């Protein structure tokens, strides 16, 4: 076999493998009908009925439950007020936009679950868990009622309200992956 044919066949094989892996990954997402604030608020309200001790013990990740709730609330709040630091415009228009499109198509997000929003205030591990959960629920309600222009996302760039809602829901559900229940 000639070198050129060998390289061509190798590239075709790699492309086919990547395509199959991508299709498989995209097919394993959440039910798109459940990816909205109404379902998220129902889940958050259900969590509010749990005893504080149970809420406190939910997270098995690097952040405790209150930090997870506060982090997700920060993200929603920053979508209205503006993120403190952004990725480059090139990143937002290429990898960032591509990542959001993939997450939206899949109906699920994957990201580093202990990485803070760039330049956001530190997450206090001593915040009362019910207070943090209430903050998250209030940020969802505030976002739903928000009528002004939304701030660009620090990594995805410009998002409309529906895309932001999806991003926030996917973001929270990804963080639920570190919880002992409710995932």
| The predicted structure's pLDDT at residue 32 | 67
Residues 10, 63 within the same domain: no
3-state DSSP assignment of residue 56: helix
| The predicted structure's pLDDT at residue 180 | 83
Q: How far apart are the C-alpha atoms of 99 and 103, rounded to whole Å?
A: 6
At residue 83, does pLDDT exceed 80?
yes
Domain containing 5 equals 1-30
Q: Answer yes or no: is 17 within a domain.
A: yes
Q: Answer yes or no: is 181 within a domain.
A: no
Going by the DSSP 8-state scheme, the letter that residue 93 receives in this structure is: I
| The predicted structure's pLDDT at residue 57 | 86
| The predicted structure's pLDDT at residue 46 | 95
Residues 24, 41 within the same domain: no
Place of tokens 């699920």: 108
Count of other CB atoms within 10 angstroms of residue 124: 12
Q: Which residue has the higher pLDDT, 60 or 172?
A: 172
CA angle 49, 78, 106 (to 5 degrees): 75
Residues 68, 110 within the same domain: yes
Residue range 127-150, pLDDT digits in tens:
999 999 999 999 999 999 999 999
Q: Answer yes or no: is 183 within a domain.
A: no
Q: Are 41 and 140 in contact (CB under 8 A)?
A: yes
Residues 77, 116 within the same domain: yes
Question: Which of 91, 65, 72 has its CA nearest to residue 172?
Answer: 72
| The predicted structure's pLDDT at residue 116 | 97
pTM for the complete prediction? Answer: 0.83
Q: What band does 30 get if pLDDT is binned at 50, 70 and 90?
A: low
Q: Answer yes or no: is 3 within a domain.
A: yes
Q: Are 55 and 130 in contact (CB under 8 A)?
A: yes
Residues 118, 130 within the same domain: yes
Residue range 1-25, pLDDT digits in tens:
565 555 555 545 544 444 444 443 3
Residues 74, 2 within the same domain: no
Q: What is the mean pLDDT of the chain?
A: 87
Q: Are 29 and 103 in contact (CB under 8 A)?
A: no
Residues 87, 148 within the same domain: yes
Residues 91, 122 within the same domain: yes
Q: How many structural domains is the chain composed of?
A: 2
Query: What region does 182 belong to: left with phi over 0, alpha with psi -120 to 50, or beta?
Result: left
At residue 85, does pLDDT exceed 80?
yes
| 176-177-182-183 Cα dihedral, nearest 10 degrees | 120
Place of tokens 């061509």: 8
Q: How far apart are the C-alpha atoms of 35 and 92, rounded to whole Å?
A: 23
């Amino acid at each position: 076999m000639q070198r050129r044919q060998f390289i061509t066949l190798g590239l075709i094989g790699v492309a086919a493998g990547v395509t199959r892996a991508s299709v498989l990954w995209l097919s394993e997402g959440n039910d798109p009908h459940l990816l909205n604030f109404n379902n998220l608020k129902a889940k958050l309200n259900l969590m509010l009925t749990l005893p504080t001790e149970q809420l406190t013990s939910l997270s098995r990740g690097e952040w405790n439950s209150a930090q997870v709730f506060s982090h997700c609330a920060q993200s929603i709040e920053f979508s209205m007020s503006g993120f403190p630091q952004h990725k480059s415009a090139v990143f937002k228009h290429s990898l960032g936009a591509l990542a959001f499109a993939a997450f939206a198509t899949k109906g699920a997000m994957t990201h580093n679950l202990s990485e803070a929003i760039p330049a956001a205030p530190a997450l206090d591990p001593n915040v009362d868990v019910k207070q943090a959960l209430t903050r998250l629920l209030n940020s969802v309600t505030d976002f739903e009622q928000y009528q002004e222009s939304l701030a660009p996302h620090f990594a995805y760039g410009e998002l409309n309200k529906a895309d932001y809602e999806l991003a926030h829901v996917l973001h929270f559900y990804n963080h639920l992956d570190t919880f002992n229940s409710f995932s």
